[in-house]
Amino acid sequence: KAGVTQTPRYLIKTRGQQVTLSCSPISGHRSVSWYQQTPGQGLQFLFEYFSETQRNKGNFPGRFSGRQFSNSRSEMNVSTLELGDSALYLCASSRGQQDTEAFFGQGTRLTVV
Amino acid sequence: DQQVKQNSPSLSVQEGRISILNCDYTNSMFDYFLWYKKYPAEGPTFLISISSIKDKNEDGRFTVFLNKSAKHLSLHIVPSQPGDSAVYFCAASPDAGGTSYGKLTFGQGTILTVHP
C-alpha cells in the first residue's frame, strides 16, 4: 500500500513569487491536512480538506490556500512569498473520521530567498 | 497559548532501559491523542494513539498512558534501542464534531537519545 506522496521534495523560490505544492494521500483516504514546520513555531496546522471541501482552517493569512480534487489529491498554494514562509510543509492523510490516525508524507522543503 | 506541551526538550537514556516521554494538554475538548516519531527533514511517523475512553494502549515496545483528570499523557518505550533516537511529538485532536476531524495540535517535541 503506497504511502503519502508529496512533490516536490525541495523548492527554492524568490520573495514575491508563488508556489504550489502537491500531496497524494493513501488510497481510500478522503482527508488531507497541511502543516507548516519551522524551528521556532513547531508543527502548525494550515487547513484540512475532506471530499473536496475545506473543513477546517488554521490561523494563517489568506496567502495560503489549498484545494482538493475528486481523487483526493490536494494542492497547497502560497502567493506573494515572504522569507518567513521558508519551512517544511507536510501533508497528512487520514480517513477523516473520529479517532483515526493521520499519516504524513516526507514533506516539501521550501526555501524563500 | 500552547494547548499541547512537552516540557522536556530532550531526554537521554541507556539502551535497554525505559524511555518515558511526557505530554500535557489544556484543552478539555481534546479526546484523541497520538504520538509521532520524526527525523530531521522527514515527515512524522505515526507510532501509537489513544482515545479518551481508554487510559492505556500498547503496541509492542510502545505504551501510551492517558490521565484525563490530570490532562496528561505519556509514552513509554521498553526496552529503548539506539534506533529510537529521534524527535517525539505528541498530538491531540478535539471532539467537536465533523469539522474538527483532521486537525491535530502538536507539542513542541522531545529529542530522545538512546545511548548504546
Cα–chain center distance at B100: 20
pLDDT at residue B87, as a whole number: 96
DSSP for A1-52 reads: ----EEE-SEEEE-TT--EEEEEE--TT--EEEEEEEETTTEEEEEEEEETT
Separation CA B96–CA B70 (nearest Å): 21
pLDDT-derived band at A100, boundaries 50, 70, 90: confident
Contact of A50 with chain B, judged by CB distance below 8 Å, is answered with yes
Average pLDDT over residues A74-94: 96
pLDDT at residue A1, as a whole number: 58
Parallel/antiparallel/unpaired status of strands B110-115 and B10-14: parallel
Q: Residue B99 is nearest to which of A56, A103, A109, comparing CB atoms?
A: A56
Could you report the per-residue pLDDT of B75-89, keeping only the tens digit for each? 999 999 999 999 999
pLDDT-derived band at B24, boundaries 50, 70, 90: very high
Residue of B nearest to A89 (CA): B43
For residue B35, pLDDT over 60 is answered with yes
Could you report the per-residue pLDDT of A15-53, keeping only the tens digit for each? 999 999 999 999 999 999 999 999 888 899 999 999 999
DSSP B84: G
Could you tell me if A15 and A113 are in contact, meaning their C-beta atoms sit under 8 angstroms apart?
Answer: yes
pLDDT at residue B91, as a whole number: 94
Residue A105: Cβ within 10 Å count: 26
pLDDT at residue A34, as a whole number: 97
Residue B99 and residue A88: Cβ atoms within 8 Å? no
Secondary structure class of B99 (helix, strand, coil): helix
Instruction: Map grid coordinates 483526493 to a residue.
Output: A72
Secondary structure class of B29 (helix, strand, coil): coil
Residue A100 and residue B101: Cβ atoms within 8 Å? yes
Contact of A89 with chain B, judged by CB distance below 8 Å, is answered with no
How far does the CA of residue A43 sit from the closest CA of chain B (Å)? 6
pLDDT at residue B98, as a whole number: 55
pLDDT at residue B115, as a whole number: 97
pLDDT at residue B70, as a whole number: 97
For residue B92, pLDDT over 90 is answered with yes
For residue B99, pLDDT over 80 is answered with no
How far does the CA of residue B111 sit from the closest CA of chain A (Å)? 13
Average pLDDT over residues A87-102: 88
Average pLDDT over residues B42-64: 94
